[in-house]
Amino acid sequence: MKSFYITTAIDYANGSPHLGHAYEKVLTDVIARTNRLLGSQVKFVTGLDEHGQKVQQGAQSEGIEPLERCNRIAEEFQSMLLQLGISNDDYIRTTQERHKKVVSLLLQDLYDRGEIYQAEYQGFYSTRAEQFLQEKDKVDGKWPEIFGEVTEITEKNYFFKLGKYQGWLSKHLNETTGFIEPAHRQNQVLEFLKEPLNDLCISRPKERLSWGIPLPFDSEYVTYVWFDALVNYVSAAGFGDESFEKFWPADLHVIGKDILAPPHAVYWPIMLKACNLALPKQILAHGWWTVSGSKMSKSSGETVDPLGLAEKYGADAFRYFVMREMTVGNDAEFSAERFESRYRADLGNDLGNLVSRLLHMTAAYEQGIVPTVDLDEEPEKKIKEHWNSTKDFVLDCFSSFQFSQGLDKAFAFIRGINKYADERTPWKLAKSDEPEDRKALRTCLGTMIESLRLANTMLAPVMPSVHEKINDRLGLSPSVSWNDDLFWDHRLAEKKLGEKTILFPREV
């Protein structure tokens, strides 16, 4: 069985989860579920990035130990995963032994091979961004807001020889189309690499930052953020164990555009190369959710609570909204009105009404038994063709991360089923005793039920619990294989359907 290792960024343990964090988990979950349905053995990992100054300061201001604060935030993030139906197989925390061990092993190995050296460093440091800044980071001669307070400091630190791999990385990016998605981001990284690449400062003196993983070769220092955080991807894959071979290299890292270059597109490939480890096959950089035009973040103060929405409308409505509304790679503005309108129109009117109407008609006209289809006339031919083109298009979209377009097409098919019913008018046919009308009625219901089964199979990765509910009414367990379940074969003929149900209540 083909394996598929997929990861999200690990969230900073310095605040509560917001829509941005939730979106990334849903997006990754949809890709993970799609790959499972297509037959891969998926390993889906997400987690928490727990070291660093902000976490240390946050704990101090609460008068508690950093780990205590991290434990609480880890619970909050994990409970969000549960509530959003995220199917991760593992949750990595950078304070876990399994991770700290791997960070130490890799650092020691790089140090022994001369890839890490000590030097004096003088520079402008941003506490908020936890990074040294360069003159070019200034905007109009000033440090931009996002860096918070910036101070000039001199200290001895350890450096990783990033610069010497610059040529190698440019070559890799030039030769490997599709390494970074969307493609224009790969070009941006190549542009970035036209400037000389400095070596990477990978340490902080303990007196300034104690909340970190100690350097194995100098206990006066801890590991600086990226050499700790990025390594989670290999520690979660079980670096040093047998299972590592099975899942590494990762098939896909899903991250936001803010941490693409340099961390994921420059530091990470070079770190792996220097450690003689294979590079991930692909990196997907999604855009930002904005509120009133600015990136939603803890520091901007403008956040949307994903759990409030999921509680009110249901987790699947939330999942559908974010996947339908955001074109992967672009930014999207959050609006409560858009949410409400997608909920009412797409989910309530198109899908919800179809399900309740169909269950009701089958119960009323056919005692809840799925009729066999005897006719294959123009309307049936049309809807079958519509399904075939929908299936191919949606599969293509889902494999190229175009979920919004794919869902648009899937819902056009759902509306197509409603149109088919309007054409055949089963409610009129049911009033007639003519054998031809009976045949048309049975054909119509059978065709609609088969169409709904197929549409619902296609929605499984995006709305897993709605999928399960609809399949339950159809007398089916949730789909485990798209290779088996996406064919028009009237497998439900003569089967008994369940009771009518309301999937998306009007009053929420």
**CB closer to ligand MSP out of 155 and 258:** 258
Q: What is the distance between the alpha carbons of residues 33 and 415, in angstroms, rounded to a whole number?
A: 25
CB of 6 to ligand MSP, least distance (A): 14
Query: Side chain identity at 414, as an amino acid letter?
Result: I
Q: What is the distance between the alpha carbons of residues 447 and 488, in angstroms, rounded to a whole number?
A: 10
**CB closer to ligand MSP out of 101 and 491:** 101
Of 5-13, 34-42, 73-81, 407-415, the window that binds ligand MSP (rule: CB under 6 A) is 5-13
For ligand MSP, the binding residue among 296, 394, 429, 444 (CB under 6 A) is 296
Burial class (CB in 10 A: 0-12, 13-18, 19+), 191: exposed
CB of 99 to ligand MSP, least distance (A): 11
Closest-CA residue to 328 (of 266, 230, 255, 390): 255
Is 319 a binder of ligand MSP (CB under 6 A)?
A: no
Strands 150-160 and 218-223: unpaired
Is 229 a binder of ligand MSP (CB under 6 A)?
A: yes
- Burial pattern 112-133, b for ≥16 Cβ within 10 A else e, equals eeebbeeeebeebbbeebbbbb
Report whether the peptide linkage leading into residue 262 is cis, meaning its omega lies within 30 degrees of zero: yes
For ligand MSP, the binding residue among 4, 5, 6, 12 (CB under 6 A) is 12
Q: What is the distance between the alpha carbons of residues 499 and 356, in angstroms, rounded to a whole number?
A: 9
**CB closer to ligand MSP out of 48 and 458:** 48
Is 277 a binder of ligand MSP (CB under 6 A)?
A: no
Place of tokens 């069985």: 1
CB of 227 to ligand MSP, least distance (A): 10
Q: Which helix (H) or strand (E) holds 214?
A: strand 214-215
Q: What is the distance between the alpha carbons of residues 354 and 351, in angstroms, rounded to a whole number?
A: 5
Is 289 a binder of ligand MSP (CB under 6 A)?
A: yes
Is 270 a binder of ligand MSP (CB under 6 A)?
A: no
Residue 39 φ then ψ, to 5°: 105, 10
Is 158 a binder of ligand MSP (CB under 6 A)?
A: no
Sign of CA dihedral 297, 302, 304, 305: positive
294: left (phi over 0), alpha (psi -120 to 50) or beta: beta
Sign of CA dihedral 388, 389, 392, 394: negative
490: left (phi over 0), alpha (psi -120 to 50) or beta: left
Closest-CA residue to 118 (of 24, 44, 221): 221
Is 54 a binder of ligand MSP (CB under 6 A)?
A: no
Residue nearest to ligand MSP (CB): 256
For ligand MSP, the binding residue among 4, 6, 20, 274 (CB under 6 A) is 20
For ligand MSP, the binding residue among 4, 21, 387, 454 (CB under 6 A) is 21
**CB closer to ligand MSP out of 224 and 289:** 289
Is 23 a binder of ligand MSP (CB under 6 A)?
A: yes
CB of 256 to ligand MSP, least distance (A): 2
**CB closer to ligand MSP out of 60 and 330:** 330
For ligand MSP, the binding residue among 57, 71, 87, 297 (CB under 6 A) is 297
For ligand MSP, the binding residue among 85, 214, 256, 352 (CB under 6 A) is 256
For ligand MSP, the binding residue among 4, 6, 11, 417 (CB under 6 A) is 11
Total residues in contact with ligand MSP, by rule CB under 6 A = 21
Is 258 a binder of ligand MSP (CB under 6 A)?
A: yes
CB of 103 to ligand MSP, least distance (A): 12
Of 6-14, 35-43, 119-127, 433-441, the window that binds ligand MSP (rule: CB under 6 A) is 6-14
Is 288 a binder of ligand MSP (CB under 6 A)?
A: yes
Q: What is the distance between the alpha carbons of residues 372 and 376, in angstroms, rounded to a whole number?
A: 12
CB of 429 to ligand MSP, least distance (A): 50
Of 35-43, 126-134, 169-177, 287-295, the window that binds ligand MSP (rule: CB under 6 A) is 287-295
CB of 291 to ligand MSP, least distance (A): 8
Alpha carbon distances (Å) from 285 to 130, 189, 371: 22, 12, 47
**CB closer to ligand MSP out of 23 and 211:** 23
Is 9 a binder of ligand MSP (CB under 6 A)?
A: yes
∠465-468-469 over CA atoms, to 5°? 90
Is 316 a binder of ligand MSP (CB under 6 A)?
A: no
First to last CA, the chain: 43
Which parts of this chain interact with ligand MSP (CB under 6 A)?
Answer: 9-12, 20-21, 23-24, 49, 229-230, 232, 255-256, 258-259, 288-289, 295-297
